[in-house]
């Protein structure tokens, strides 16, 4: 038993070592990626339920690493948060998205708000608001065309969040509550902040074909509407989901059924062309 114990410990510590090595390696590569422009953004359009016009675009980070190949955001973002690299990366995402919005505006494409995801770690930066103001100023976008997507983990840092969100709201920026219903005490946070959009997590959209799933979604929609918010359904993949969501009064759709997240050029040729002024 003793021997086994020692082996277990050794195995355990070498696993930790490997993980640490892995994180260190990722950190080094991510720093390099920032300087060598390996990050890109993909854009996923959102559509009005009533007219099916594009009414928003979510910017999502992509990393095609020379050394590691494509790294999914679900792997990249947690390490970026842990190492603090989310701060410069988050700034890059915001700048890039705002610049792209300006390019679309100059080229006569429809101007719709662009959504950028904010992570908790960015919220702890005391100069977050200044950073956002600076990016808005430098890129020259109108603040009303910027939506920041926050999660309940951000809202949970209540005192700080209220101050920061108030200040951003005063600038004219829109706030969306992302992944709604997957965290804790959702209701409490919805009422204490000035949230413009609530996004139904794709896990719920997935369950639309059950009576219970529909009940949850219709409750979120009623709640959102009673609080004067627009309700966005994420992860819309089938025509059945579209009609069910429409029937339940959902305002905005986002999902593979309409478009996957795609590079800017592809969004122009596949989605924007029909709206070109």
Distance CA 175, CA 146 (A): 9
Q: Which does 77 bind (CB under 5 to 8 A by kind): Ca ion, ligand C2E, none?
A: ligand C2E
Does position 149 interact with Ca ion (CB under 5 A)? The reply is yes
Distance CA 146, CA 112 (A): 9
Shortest distance in whole angstroms from residue 158 CB to ligand C2E? 20
For binding to ligand C2E (CB under 6 A), which residues are involved? 44, 60-61, 72-74, 77, 90, 93, 117, 119, 149, 178-179, 202, 234-237, 255-256, 261
Q: Which is closer to ligand C2E, CB of 17 or CB of 82?
A: 82
Q: Which is closer to ligand C2E, CB of 43 or CB of 193?
A: 43
Nearest by Cα to 231 from 246, 243, 241: 246
Q: Which does 73 bind (CB under 5 to 8 A by kind): Ca ion, ligand C2E, none?
A: ligand C2E
Give the one residue of 38, 96, 178, 251 binding Ca ion; rule: CB under 5 A: 178
Residues numbered 38-57 forming contacts with Ca ion, rule: CB under 5 A:
none
Q: Which is closer to ligand C2E, CB of 179 or CB of 251?
A: 179
Q: Which is closer to Ca ion, CB of 152 or CB of 179?
A: 179
Q: Which is closer to ligand C2E, CB of 17 or CB of 72?
A: 72
Shortest distance in whole angstroms from residue 149 CB to Ca ion? 4
Does position 152 interact with Ca ion (CB under 5 A)? The reply is no
List the alpha helices (DSSP H) in the chain: 2-35, 73-83, 86-106, 120-123, 128-139, 152-155, 158-171, 186-192, 202-205, 211-226, 239-248, 264-270
Does position 117 interact with Ca ion (CB under 5 A)? The reply is yes
**Is 34:92 a contact under the CB 8 Å cutoff?**
yes
226-245: b (≥16 Cβ within 10 Å) or e: eeebbbbbbbbeeeebbebb
**Is 57:259 a contact under the CB 8 Å cutoff?**
no
Shortest distance in whole angstroms from residue 43 CB to Ca ion? 12
Q: Which is closer to Ca ion, CB of 117 or CB of 241?
A: 117
Q: Which does 256 bind (CB under 5 to 8 A by kind): ligand C2E, Ca ion, none?
A: ligand C2E
Q: Which does 119 bind (CB under 5 to 8 A by kind): ligand C2E, Ca ion, none?
A: ligand C2E
Q: Which residues, in sequence order, are bridge partners of residue 233?
A: 200, 253
Distance CA 40, CA 260 (A): 15
Q: Quick one: three-class SS letters along 85-143?
A: CHHHHHHHHHHHHHHHHHHHHHCCCCCCCEEEECCHHHHCCCCHHHHHHHHHHHHCCCH
């Amino acid at each position: 038993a003793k021997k086994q114990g020692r082996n277990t410990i050794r195995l355990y510590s070498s696993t930790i070592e490997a993980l640490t090595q892995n994180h260190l390696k990722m950190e080094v590569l991510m720093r390099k990626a920032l300087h060598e422009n390996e990050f890109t953004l993909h854009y996923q359009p959102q559509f009005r339920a009533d007219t099916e016009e594009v009414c928003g675009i979510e910017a999502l980070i992509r990393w095609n690493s020379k050394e590691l190949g494509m790294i999914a955001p679900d792997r990249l973002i947690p390490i970026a948060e842990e190492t603090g690299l989310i701060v410069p990366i988050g700034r890059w995402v915001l700048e890039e998205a705002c610049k792209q919005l300006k390019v679309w505006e100059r080229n006569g494409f429809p101007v719709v708000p662009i959504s950028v995801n904010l992570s908790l770690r960015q919220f702890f930066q005391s100069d977050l608001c200044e950073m956002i103001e600076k990016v808005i100023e430098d890129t020259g976008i109108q603040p009303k065309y910027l939506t920041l997507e926050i999660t309940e983990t951000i809202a949970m840092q209540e005192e700080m969040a209220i101050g920061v969100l108030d200040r951003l709201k005063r600038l004219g920026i829109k706030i969306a509550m992302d992944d709604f219903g997957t965290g804790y005490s959702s209701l409490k946070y919805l009422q204490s902040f000035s949230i413009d959009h609530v996004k139904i997590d794709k896990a719920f959209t997935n369950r639309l074909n059950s009576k219970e799933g529909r009940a949850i979604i219709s409750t979120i929609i009623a709640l959102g509407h009673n609080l004067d918010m627009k309700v966005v359904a994420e992860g819309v993949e089938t025509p059945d989901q579209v009609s069910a969501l429409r029937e339940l009064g959902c305002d905005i759709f986002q999902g593979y059924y309409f478009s996957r997240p795609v590079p800017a050029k592809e969004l122009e040729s596949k989605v924007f062309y029909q709206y070109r002024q």
